[in-house]
Chain A
């Protein structure tokens, strides 16, 4: 009788220990997964920020005086020109969101960089609320001819979600393109 009690107690205690280990392992896996999602989101956002800011900083670079540096502006779209490679060929670049959806799912809300005469380049999907604002030298909203500063902002969603967890990052910055005439 005594050994039966020992065996039963061992099963219960052992079962609890194994359950705790499994639960702990599951939690840690979830945390690790979410952290990895956050890290990927951070890295992707940083990459997008660099691409956009490096390019915005070059708006108007090496253009003839007769060519306008910024050709089209809107709240969610911008088209500008530059001769980035100093080869005498003016590139016209547009940033916009393609395949827009208010309720994001994978593959939608693609941030696109379109260079004139080339295939659209898909930078990342999951870019929400891409917004551009344009300011003159006094910091007031302005028309295309008076632009001194360009402010961009967007929210980037991780392409994968883990249960209820979807990693998001909000970015906003104001750039002064120095090559604007």
Chain B
């Protein structure tokens, strides 16, 4: 009897052990499912985070290629590599991140295009060396970055949609003043000198551009491409293609009008006189991908001529730089008022008048709008604004071409 009891007891224990073992195994498998998922998510998130980190670094420094190789990154192992892809474009970078967490592994392969913030003067909607006592008021709405190497004069509620910067620590006010700085301010920064390299532009035009020396030059841009030109004392127009370098230089005044198809910077060692509207063939306000770009650079002034073409209305689509002068209108005290539309930006030594308030007002009403493309693009050889991007929060935009997790 005792022997049977022992056998019975051992059998009972064996069956229970098997049951308990099965239960334990199920519990262990259940825990493993949870833990495996946790490891998988951690590996994937770590790989994604590494690429996000690289994207952030590239916005701060487009030349950053350090990557990382960390044995312990939030508990994971991670490797991050950045490879230039000149076979796609000069500004294309491939990012590869691989991460392992416990027994899980994941990797990300991404290709991005960098759009460096322009460091040229064309990146400004408005720039002056001297404000010359002219005020921004509630009637003024400005888009794009603006800067002065002086102190702004603000009154009422002017609206600024771009970053506002100046060398002065603050701005002058008159009466109740509450300006709207939608992109913030950066007052008290170092001076940004207007130092267009006229010698350099002249050399570029001489080597691979078009250079005119003796006479004032008349230029008519052609919508179909190229341009026509004539000397001041010649009535016959001559056709030329746009130069390979995109720089047309004249030692004397340039009289300019027409519709541009392509990219060109027109440089005068004296002044540029706008004889009729100057526009883009492919209007960037309709097609944001338009690649038509016009720069107008004058040693002295850029002047809207007083003629029947420009009064009452004139449209200029260009980035304008007047190194020692102003962007202004000739005989601006005409009535009734007209409309001066500028799509681009103005850089000038001092603000020049194009109209005048009063009763009645005279001259042009200003409709200035920044060409957003100039944030990253610029006309050929447009003068560099040294120090203009050093304080920017983002020095490049990133466009993700593709992003792929390997698993």
Contact = CB atoms under 8 A, between A and B. Distances in A.
Q: How large is the interface on A (under 10, 10 to 19, 20 to 34, 35 or more residues)?
A: 20 to 34
B182 interface: no
Contacts of A28: 16, 19-20, 23
A61 B405 contact: no
Interface stretch (B29-37, B147-155, B168-176): B29-37
A179 interface: yes
B interface, by DSSP: helix, strand, loop or mixed? Answer: helix
Contacts of A54: 405, 407
Contact of B403 (A21, A50, A179): A179
Interface residues of B, number: 23
Contact of A179 (B16, B23, B30, B400): B400
A54 B110 CA distance: 15
A124 B403 CA distance: 29
Interface in A48-69: 49-50, 54, 57-58, 61-62
A166 B16 CA distance: 26
A140 interface: no
Interface string A25-42: 100110110011011001
B15 interface: yes
B30 A42 contact: yes
Nearest to B11: A21
29 contacts: A21-B12, A25-B19, A28-B16, A28-B20, A31-B23, A32-B19, A32-B22, A32-B23, A35-B23, A36-B26, A39-B26, A39-B30, A39-B33, A42-B30, A42-B34, A46-B33, A46-B36, A49-B37, A50-B40, A54-B405, A57-B405, A58-B404, A58-B405, A61-B403, A61-B404, A62-B402, A178-B110, A179-B402, A179-B403
A75 interface: no
Interface string A164-181: 000000000000001100
Given A38-B30, A42-B34, A178-B400, 10 more contacts: A32-B22, A32-B26, A39-B29, A39-B30, A43-B33, A49-B37, A54-B405, A57-B405, A61-B403, A61-B404
A38 B34 CA distance: 12
Contact of B37 (A29, A31, A46, A57): A46
A interface, by DSSP: helix, strand, loop or mixed? Answer: helix
Interface of A: 21, 24-25, 28-29, 31-32, 35-36, 38-39, 42-43, 46, 49-50, 54, 57-58, 61-62, 178-179
Contacts of A50: 40
B27 interface: yes
Contact of B33 (A36, A42, A179): A42
Most chain A beta-carbon neighbours within 10 Å: one of B20, B26, B36, B110: B26
A48 to B, nearest CB: 12
B44 to A, nearest CB: 8
Most chain A beta-carbon neighbours within 10 Å: one of B12, B16, B20, B403: B403
Contacts of B22: 32
Q: Which 7 A-B pairs have the closest CB atoms?
A: A178-B403, A35-B26, A28-B19, A42-B33, A39-B30, A46-B37, A32-B22
A61 B402 contact: yes
A31 B24 CA distance: 11
Nearest to A37: B26
A36 B20 CA distance: 13
A41 B29 CA distance: 12
A28 B403 CA distance: 49
A50 B37 CA distance: 9
Nearest to A38: B30
Interface in B384-407: 400, 402-405, 407
A58 B405 CA distance: 8
Contacts of A178: 110, 400, 403
Nearest to B405: A57
Contacts of A42: 30, 33-34
B400 to A, nearest CB: 6
A54 B403 CA distance: 12
Contacts of A62: 402
Nearest to A33: B26
A157 B12 CA distance: 36
A42 B38 CA distance: 13
A35 B33 contact: no
A46 B41 CA distance: 11
B27 to A, nearest CB: 6
Interface in B17-67: 19-20, 22-23, 26-27, 29-30, 33-34, 36-37, 40
Contacts of B26: 32, 35-36, 39
Contacts of A25: 15, 19
Nearest to A58: B404
B30 A35 contact: yes
Contacts of B27: 35
Nearest to B51: A178
B115 to A, nearest CB: 14
Most chain A beta-carbon neighbours within 10 Å: one of B22, B27, B33: B33
A43 to B, nearest CB: 6
A148 B36 CA distance: 28
Nearest to B399: A181
Contacts of B23: 28, 31-32, 35
